[in-house]
Copies of this chain bind each other. A is one copy, B any other.
Amino acid sequence: MMSKRFVSELVAGDAVDDVFLLAERNVAHKKDGNPFLNVTLADRTGQVKGVVWDQVERILAAAAEGDFVHVRAQVGEYRGNLQLVVKDMAGVPADQVDAADFLAATTRDVTKMMDRLQEMTGRMQDPHLAALFALFWQDADFVSDFMRAPAAKMMHHAYIGGLLEHTLSMAVLAEMVGSHYSGVDRDMLLAGVILHDVGKLRELEYTSRIDYTDQGRLLSHIVIGLAMLDEKLKQVPDFPETKAHLLKHMLVSHHGERAFGSPEPPKTIEAVLLNYIDEIDSRVNSIREFVAKDTSEGNWTSYHRLLERHLYKK
A→B interface (CB under 8 Å): 9, 24-26, 31, 64-65, 77-81, 169, 172-173, 176-177, 180-181, 214-215, 217-220, 222-223, 226-227, 230, 242, 245-246, 248-249, 252, 258-265, 267-269, 272-273, 276, 279-280, 283-284, 287-288, 295-300, 307-312, 314
Copy total for this chain: 6
A272 close to B252 (CB less than 8 A): no
B297 close to A263 (CB less than 8 A): no
Q: Kindly state the separation between the CA atoms of A297 and B24 in the bound complex, as whole angstroms.
A: 7
* Chain B residues closer than 8 Å to A252, beta-carbon distance: 218-220, 223
User: In the complex, which of the residues B65, B267, B272 contacts A310, with contact meaning CB atoms closer than 8 Å?
Assistant: B267
Query: Separation in Å of the A183 CB from the closest CB of chain B?
Result: 8
B227 close to A267 (CB less than 8 A): no
B176 close to A312 (CB less than 8 A): no
Q: Kindly state the separation between the CA atoms of A227 and B241 in the bound complex, as whole angstroms.
A: 14
Query: Separation in Å of the A74 CB from the closest CB of chain B?
Result: 18
User: In the complex, which of the residues B267, B296, B307, B312 contacts A312, with contact meaning CB atoms closer than 8 Å?
Assistant: B267
